[in-house]
Amino acid sequence: MNLKQARNFLKEVEPFLSSDRPQLVFDMSQVRHIDAGGVDVLLQCMREAIKHDGDLKLASVSPQAAVVLELTRTGRLFEIYDNSTQAVKSFSSFLPNALKHYYPHPAHHVTPIINPEAFVGGSDSADVAA
Amino acid sequence: MELKALILVGAPVANRVPVEVMAGVPFACVDVLGTTVLERIAQQLKAAGIKRLALIRSADPEARSHTESSIHKAGFDSIAETGENFWQSAEEAFEQFRRSGTDLVLILNVGPYVELDYEEVIQHHINKRCRMTSVVAADGEALGTFVVDASRRGDATTLFRSGLQKVRDDCERFVAKGYVNLLHSASDFRRLAIDGLLERNAVRPIGKEVKPGIWVGHGAQIHRKARILAPAFIGARSKIRAASLITRNSVIEHDAEVDCGTVVENSTILPYTYVGAGLDVMHSVVGFRRISHLVREVDVEIHDEKLVGVSPANTLFRTLGSTAAFFVVLPRRVLRDLWAQVCKVRRVPLPESQAAPAKDLAVPDVNEPASGQEVGEFPANFAVVRRYGEH
C-alpha cells in the first residue's frame, strides 16, 4: 500500500469512519507491501474512528506488513487478530453484562499476533486492551 | 613447495538450501564489524604464507557493485567472473595453476566462515601423503575447503563437476577445531557479528574501543544526545543522529546513517544504509533496501526512502545530496513557521460568557445523598448512560 493507493482507500472508507460509533476491521491478508503513507492512513482511520467513539482493528496481517508496523512503532497501537472473524467477535466482547443477553456470542479468547510483548500478561491481552 | 589458493564466491552448490545471499550479495561479501568475511579469509591465507590468490565469482549484476570494493581490498591476483559456467571456470583456473608449476592448490568455497590454521591443514595433507584433503566440521559436514595436489587434475574435475559434493574415496579428512559459522541465513550472519563483539571468534571490530565493549570506526559521527549501549560497533564514517539508541549487540556498518530518535536493538545496519527517523529496528539485518527480520523469519523489501534508503557510495554525491536536502527543507520549514504564526494571530479569543462556565447553571451536589437512599461507593443519583448500537 503506497501513498496513492492509501488515499484512494481512505476515500472509500471515509463514510464508514464518519458514522456513529464505527466498529471497523481491516482485513490485511492481501497487503504485502506497506510504506509510510499506508501507515499514515491507518493512523488517520484509527483517529477518525476514535473521534466518533468507535474503534479500528486489524486482522490477518501478513508478516511483511507486520514488520513495517513494528518498524514504524504503530503495531502496538492496533489490536491485531489472526483473522477477521475473531476481530469482529472481539467488538462484542466488551458489551456490558446487561446487553450480552441481547447480543450473545460464543466464548472465545483472542490473542494478538503482533507485538505480544506490548500487552503485558500475554493471554490476558483482551482484558488489557479493554 | 608452491601453494596457491582458489577462492569461490557465490558458487551454485547443489543439494543445499538457497545460496547464502542477501539481495543477491553473498554474506561473505557483506561487511561484518568493519570488513567482509572474504577480506578476513584473504588476510588469514596471506598470513599462512599463501601469497597467490585467485577468485572465481558468479557474475550477478546486482551483487557485483556491492562486492567490488571488498574484492579489491582483499588483493586477489586474478579475478574471474562467470555466469552459468561457474564450475568450468574453476576447472580452467585449476589447470592454469597446474601449468604454472604449482604443487598444491587450496580450494575454498567462501560461504561458511571457518577459522582454520591453514598451515596445519597443509601440513596434515603433506604428512598423510594423500591426493586430496577435505576440511570437515566436528559433526562431519563438509565445509567446502579442500587441499588438492595440482597434479591430480581428475580429482579436481570430479570435485568441481559435482559442485564440491563428490570426492574420490581416498580423500583424507581434516576436522576443523576452530570457530565455524555456515552463514546460511541472516541469523547466521547476525550470530557471526554478535560472536565477534563478544570475542567468541577471531572477527575483531575494525575501530577503536572508545568505551568497554563499544568500538567506533574512523570518522564516525555520534550525536552527543545519542545513546549507545555496549556491546556495539559503529563503523567508519557512519552517522548516529540525536536521540537515537543503539543497543544489545547492534552493529552499524560503515557509511550507514541512523536518523533521529530511532532505536536499533539486536540488529545490523549494513553499509551505505539510511534508517529513517523515529523507527524501531529490532532483531533484523537492514540493508540493500531490505529488512531481514530474524524472529519473524521474513525478508521484506522496503521501497519507502523515509524508512530505509541507500546512501550513495561516493562521498561527493552524498555531500551534494545532503546539501540539496537542506535547501529543500529550510524554505519549507520557514514557510510552515510563518503560516503557524499567521494562524496564531487570527485566533479570536472566546467571549467571556463562553469561556467561563455559566454562573446561573445550578451544579448538582453529587456528594449529597438522595433522600431515603443509602450511599455506597457512588452517590445514588450518579448514573452512567452509554448507548450501544441502534437499539
Q: What is the pLDDT of residues B285-323, one digit of tens each?
A: 999 889 999 999 899 999 888 899 987 766 777 777 777
Averaged over B245-263, what is the pLDDT?
Answer: 94
Q: Do B278 and A73 make contact, defined as CB atoms within 8 angstroms?
A: yes
Å between B286 CA and nearest CA of chain A: 11
pLDDT level of residue A119 (50, 70, 90 thresholds): very low
pLDDT level of residue A123 (50, 70, 90 thresholds): very low
B333 by Cβ neighbours in 10 Å (0-12 / 13-18 / 19+) ranks as exposed
pLDDT at B238 over 90: yes
pLDDT at B374 over 70: no
pLDDT at B257 over 70: yes
pLDDT at B388 over 70: no
Task: Give yes or no for B295 touching A (CB within 8 A).
Answer: no
Q: Do A36 and B282 make contact, defined as CB atoms within 8 angstroms?
A: no
**Identity of the residue in A35, A67, A73 whose CB atom sits nearest the CB atom of B298:** A67
Strand arrangement, sheet containing B104-109: B78-82, B52-58, B3-9, B104-109, B142-149, B132-136, B172-175
Helix (H, G, I), strand (E, B) or coil at B280: strand
Beta bridge partners of B80: B56
Least Cα distance to B269 among B299, B243, B312, B238 occurs for B238
pLDDT level of residue B74 (50, 70, 90 thresholds): confident
Higher pLDDT, B79 or A102: B79
pLDDT at A117 over 50: no
Å between A34 CA and nearest CA of chain B: 8
- Least confident among B79-93, B226-240, B283-297: B79-93
> Residue B61's pLDDT is what?
66
> Residue B184's pLDDT is what?
86
> Residue A33's pLDDT is what?
85
B259-286: per-residue pLDDT in tens? 999 999 999 999 999 999 999 999 999 9
Cα–Cα dist B69/A124, whole Å: 52
Q: Do A64 and B306 make contact, defined as CB atoms within 8 angstroms?
A: no
> Residue A129's pLDDT is what?
33
Indicate the average pLDDT of chain B.
82
Q: Do B388 and A67 make contact, defined as CB atoms within 8 angstroms?
A: no
Place of cell 483517529: A47
Higher pLDDT, B368 or B74: B74
Identify the closest residue of chain A to B278 by CA–CA distance: A72
pLDDT at B233 over 90: yes
> Residue B51's pLDDT is what?
78
B322-349: per-residue pLDDT in tens? 778 777 878 888 888 888 888 776 655 6
Beta bridge partners of B8: B56, B109
Identify the closest residue of chain A to B265 by CA–CA distance: A71
A91-113: per-residue pLDDT in tens? 876 555 555 555 555 444 444 44
**Identity of the residue in B282, B303, B391 whose CB atom sits nearest the CB atom of A35:** B303
Contact residues on chain A for B279, CB-CB shorter than 8 A: 71-73
pLDDT level of residue B83 (50, 70, 90 thresholds): low
> Residue B334's pLDDT is what?
87
> Residue B358's pLDDT is what?
52
Interfacial B residues in 249-288 facing A (CB < 8 Å): 276, 278-282, 284
Higher pLDDT, B256 or A97: B256
**Identity of the residue in A37, A67, A102 whose CB atom sits nearest the CB atom of B293:** A67
* Phi-psi category of residue B283: left, alpha or beta, with phi > 0 → left and psi -120 to 50 → alpha: left
